[in-house]
């Protein structure tokens, strides 16, 4: 996938655990884990906004676009 989720990086910078973020954002631990591991197919803007507020960051700090390498 070309969208990379750097949630674990921001959580480490803020010294915040998955449990703590889950409680503050009011999202289930399993859904947050799916997002953190990059297995999520989508994220609601309201969820992204809540995560950014709690982690005091920008959406671009969490989500990154990388060109997929083509195999020839």
**Mean pLDDT calculated for residue range 40-55:** 96
d(CA 64, CA 72): 25
Report the pLDDT value the prediction gives residue 69, as an integer from 0 to 100.
73
pTM reported for the whole predicted model? 0.87
Report the pLDDT value the prediction gives residue 36, as an integer from 0 to 100.
92
The CATH architecture one would assign to domain 3-65 is Orthogonal Bundle (1.10)
d(CA 56, CA 70): 35
Give the three-state DSSP class for 60: helix
65 in Cβ contact with 24 (< 8 Å):
no
Closest CA to 14 of 54, 49, 50: 54
Q: Which two structure tokens, joined as six digits, stand for 59?
A: 């959406």
- Structural domain spans, the chain: 3-65
State yes or no: pLDDT of 34 exceeds 90.
Answer: yes
Report the pLDDT value the prediction gives residue 2, as an integer from 0 to 100.
87
């Amino acid at each position: 996938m070309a969208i990379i989720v750097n949630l674990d990086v921001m959580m480490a910078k803020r010294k915040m655990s998955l449990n703590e973020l889950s409680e503050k954002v009011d999202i289930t631990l399993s859904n947050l884990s799916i997002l953190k591991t990059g297995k999520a197919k989508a994220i609601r803007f309201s969820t992204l906004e809540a995560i950014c507020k709690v982690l005091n960051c920008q959406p671009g700090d969490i989500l990154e676009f990388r060109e997929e390498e083509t195999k020839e």
